[in-house]
Amino acid sequence: MNRHRIGNYRWAICALLFFATTVNYLDRQVLSLLAPSLSKSFGWSNSDYADIAAAFQFVYAIALLFAGRIVDRLGTKLAYALAISVWSLGAVLHAYSLEFGDALKALLSPLGLGTASASVLGFIAARSILAIGEAGNFPAAIRASAEYFPRRERSLAVGIFNSGANIGAILAPLSVPPIAALWGWRAAFVWIGAIGFLWIVFWFLYFDDPARQRRLSRAELDYIRADDAPSSAPGRQAARDCNDAPAVATPPRTGWLALLRLRQTWAFVAGKFMTDGVWWFFLFWLPKYLTDKYAMAATDMVLPLAVLYSMTMVGSIGGGWWPAAFMKRGHGAFESRMKAMLRIAFFPLLVLLAQPLGEHGYWAPVLLIGIGASAHQAWSCNLLTISSDLFPRHCVASVVGIGGLAGGIGGVLVTKIGGLLFDHYGALGDIQTGYMIMFAFCALAYLVAWAIMRILVPARLGAARMPEELVNA
C-alpha cells in the first residue's frame, strides 16, 4: 500500500501525545530543580525531600491503578483532558504550598499527626494533586497509540511521544531557574503549570475516536486496523474480533482479577517495578547530586542537565525503532521487543563508572548517567508497548495502570532508601558512598527485570494475546 495515499493524520495525534508528555515532565521537574534552594530556605533534610518526592510517587502509583480503569471507562478523549486539567491545577497550587501547609498543620496537630513542618506538609499536598492528574498521562497515551497505530509502528509512536519526557526534562532547567531568579519560586510553579490548560484546547479540536475522526481517511483507518484481520493463531481471534468491532456505547471490560491471573500481566508488573524507580531517581536526585558533589547552583546545572536529557531522546526514539529490525527478520512483535530490551539492558552498566570517573569532573558522571537514562527510555517505550502487544485495546489502559502501580511502589522504595542512605552517609561525611550504592542498583535493575520477564513469559506464551475466555470477563 502506498504510504503517501494512506495519509499521516495518526502522526498529528502522536504530536499531541508528545506535547502532553512534555508538559507532564516539565511540571514534575520544577520541584527537583528548586529543591537545593528550597531545602536551604525551609531547612529540609534529605529525608524531608525524600518524603515529598515519595508522597508524589506513592499517590501517583495508587492513582495509576485507577487511572487505567477511568481511561477505559470514559474513553481516551475525555479522560486525557480530565487528567491534564487536574495535574495543571496541582502544578499551579505548588505556589501556595506554605498556605496549604499551615492549614494542614493546624488541622493535624490536635490529632498528633502534624509532626512534619508546614512547608513539607504543603508540598506533599500539592504534589499529591499533581500526581493524581499525571497518573492519567501514560494510560491515556498508550491507549491512544493503540487506537491510532498498527502494531508495526506502535513502539516507534510510543518512543516518539515518550521522548516528550526528555524534552520536558530539558526545558525544565532552561526555564525554571531563570523564572525563579527573576520572579521567585512561586512564579516558576504558576507559569509552568498553566501550560497544560492551553494543550486541552488543541486536544478537543484534533482528537476523536478513529472511527469518528473526519480528518482520518478511510485508507489510513484501514491501514491502522490492518493488524486486526482474522488470524488462525490460538487465542487471538476473540481479541481481534473485539478490536475490530465498531465503537459502541459500552465497550467490553476485563476485571483486575482476571488480568492478575495472567503471567503476561505479572511480567509487565515486574518490568515496571524493577526499573521505574531508576528513572524516578534520576529525575528527583540528579540536581541534588550535582549540588552535593560539585556544589553547583541551579543556574550552573542548565547545560549539563540539558545535555543529559538530550541524550535520552536518542534512547527513546532509537529504542522504539530497534524492534522493527527484528520484526523484519520474521520475529513476532513481543519477541522482537524482548530481544531489543535484552540488548538495551546492558547499557546501564556504564553507570557503575559514574562515581569513580566523577573525581575528574562532573562531565564524566553526566555523560555516563545520560547513557543510563537514555537506555531507560529505550527500555521504557518497549515495555509500555508490550502491554498493547499482549492485550486487546479495551484493557490496555488497565494493564498499564496495574504496571504503573507497581512501578510507583518501586519508585517510592528507591526514593526513600536513597534519602535514608544520603542522610546516613552524609552524617558520616561520606555521602558519595550512598550515591555509589544507588548507582549500582540503577545499573543492574534492567538485567534482573528482563530475566524475570523472560521466565514469566517465554517465547511461546508471548506469541498470543490475552486468552479468548478473558476478553469479555
First CA to last CA distance, the chain: 37
Cα separation, 258 vs 161, whole angstroms: 30
In one letter, which amino acid is 361?
G
Burial tier of 182 (Cβ tally within 10 Å: 0-12, 13-18, 19+):
exposed
How far are the Cα atoms of 92, 107, 423 from residue 104, in angstroms, in the given order? 18, 5, 26
Given this model, what pLDDT does residue 228 score? 62
Question: Smallest Cα–Cα separation from 167: which of 302, 264, 69, 22?
Answer: 22
Cα separation, 235 vs 473, whole angstroms: 15
Given this model, what pLDDT does residue 168 score? 87
Cα separation, 36 vs 171, whole angstroms: 18
Cα separation, 159 vs 382, whole angstroms: 8
Cα separation, 373 vs 354, whole angstroms: 13
Cα separation, 265 vs 283, whole angstroms: 27
Given this model, what pLDDT does residue 366 score? 92
Query: Among all chains, which residue has been given the C-alpha cell 498521562?
Result: 137
Cα separation, 464 vs 237, whole angstroms: 10
Cα separation, 373 vs 283, whole angstroms: 10
Given this model, what pLDDT does residue 128 score? 94
Residue 472's SS3 state is coil
Cα-based angle 394, 395, 396 (whole degrees, multiple of 5): 100
Question: Smallest Cα–Cα separation from 23: which of 169, 142, 158, 203?
Answer: 169
Given this model, what pLDDT does residue 3 score? 53
Cα-based angle 47, 165, 23 (whole degrees, multiple of 5): 90
**Taking a C-beta distance cutoff of 8 angstroms, is the pair 199, 82 a contact?**
no
Per-residue pLDDT of the chain (473 residues; tens, 9 = 90+): 455 577 889 999 999 999 999 999 899 889 988 988 898 889 988 888 888 988 898 898 888 878 878 888 898 999 999 999 999 999 999 999 988 888 888 887 766 666 678 888 999 999 999 999 998 998 899 889 889 988 778 878 887 887 787 788 788 888 998 999 899 999 999 999 999 999 999 999 999 988 888 888 888 888 888 766 544 333 333 333 333 433 434 455 667 788 888 888 999 999 999 999 998 898 778 888 888 888 888 778 888 888 888 888 788 777 777 887 788 888 787 888 899 999 999 999 999 999 888 888 899 999 999 999 999 989 988 898 888 777 877 777 778 878 888 998 998 899 889 989 998 998 898 888 999 999 999 999 999 999 999 999 886 665 555 554 444 44
Given this model, what pLDDT does residue 167 score? 86
Q: Where do runs of H (alpha helix) occur along 295-332?
A: 302-327
Given this model, what pLDDT does residue 114 score? 60
Cα separation, 331 vs 341, whole angstroms: 14
Is this structure's pTM higher than 0.85?
no
